[in-house]
């Protein structure tokens, strides 16, 4: 059943620019580095002995809040597809549980963001190779800095999906998103417990894996809270 709902949701996001955004996000992050390195490559290469590591750190300076923004935009898009067409009414009248409806939306979003993360790794790799940063390509690091932030951002995704599905006015989730971005931009001053800090992979123990584990755990918790609230509410 959930498979069918996911297939339906994938169908619904056609021609809404959602696939384009999924591609644009990682491309934009790497494109910023293209500009960065294009303008001052010599200077940037001087900054570190390990050009690949320095390059990856530059890319991942932007990826956390590109991710946070992407989450805010995609969740709001998903919700407004239903809001604009009175789709919630139709959807909940189908012989499926509200739990499945919510899970399906979440699944599609996770798929899109995961795709974005993989694309980010691919784009970073391609441009890194193009820059000729060295023969020892750190595949593992590239993958790690693309996938970890995504896993660490799951609580933000769960929160945004919750807010977006229960708000009739999509200005609310977008505003929450704006604050999320500002918070993630100041990640280095935020306390460790703030979920918007996690995608930056920073913490006082200097162990990115902790953020990933936090992300998975609290992502699940927030997801359940959001889903329960969604199920509890009347359909407008």
Interface contacts to another protein, rule CB under 8 A: 17, 21, 24, 28, 32, 35-36, 39, 62, 65-66, 69, 72-74, 76-77, 80, 84, 169-171, 173-175, 177-179, 181-182, 185-186, 189
Q: Which is nearer to another protein, 138 or 153 (CB)?
A: 153
Which residue lies nearer to another protein by CB, 178 or 220? Answer: 178
Q: Transcribe 6-66 into DSSP letters.
A: HHHHHHHTTTTTHHHHHHHHHHHHHHHHHHHHHHHHHHHHHT-S-HHHHHHHHHHHHHHHH
Considering the complex, state which of residue 48 and residue 186 has its C-beta at the smaller distance from another protein. Answer: 186
The encoded tokens of residue 156 equal 């933000």
CB of 68 to another protein, least distance (A): 10
Closest approach, Cβ 96 to another protein, in A, equals: 25
* Token pair for 80: 């407004």
Q: Tell me how far, at minimum, the Cβ of 85 lies from another protein, in Å.
A: 11
Q: Please state the closest distance from residue 33 (CB atom) to another protein, in A.
A: 9
Q: How far is the CB of 174 from another protein (least distance, A)?
A: 5
Nearer to another protein, 139 or 179 (CB): 179
Instruction: Please tell me what DSSP assigns to residue 234.
Output: P
Q: Which is nearer to another protein, 4 or 16 (CB)?
A: 16
**CA 38 – CA 33 distance, rounded (Å):** 8
Half-sphere exposure of 222 (CA within 13 A, CB side): 20
d(CA 203, CA 193): 9
């Amino acid at each position: 059943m959930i498979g069918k709902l996911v297939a339906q949701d994938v169908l619904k996001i056609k021609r809404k620019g959602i696939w384009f955004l999924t591609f644009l996000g990682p491309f934009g992050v790497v494109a910023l580095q293209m500009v960065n390195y294009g303008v001052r490559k010599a200077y940037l290469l001087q900054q570190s002995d390990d050009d690949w590591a320095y390059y990856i750190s530059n890319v991942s300076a932007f990826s956390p809040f590109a991710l946070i923004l992407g989450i805010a935009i995609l969740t709001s898009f998903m919700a407004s597809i239903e809001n604009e067409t009175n789709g919630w009414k139709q959807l909940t009248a189908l012989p499926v549980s509200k739990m499945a409806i919510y899970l399906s939306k979440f699944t599609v979003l996770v798929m899109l963001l995961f795709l974005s993360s993989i694309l980010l790794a691919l784009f970073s790799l391609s441009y890194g190779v193009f820059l000729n940063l060295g023969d020892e390509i750190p595949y593992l690091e590239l993958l790690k800095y693309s996938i970890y932030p995504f896993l660490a951002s799951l609580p933000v995704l769960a929160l945004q999906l919750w807010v977006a599905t229960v708000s009739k006015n999509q200005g609310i989730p977008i505003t929450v998103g704006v604050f999320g971005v500002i918070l993630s931009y100041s990640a280095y001053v935020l306390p460790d417990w703030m979920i918007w800090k996690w995608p930056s992979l920073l913490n006082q123990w200097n162990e990115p894996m902790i953020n990933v584990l936090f992300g998975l755990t609290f992502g699940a918790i927030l997801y359940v809270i959001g889903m329960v609230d969604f199920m509890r509410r009347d359909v407008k």
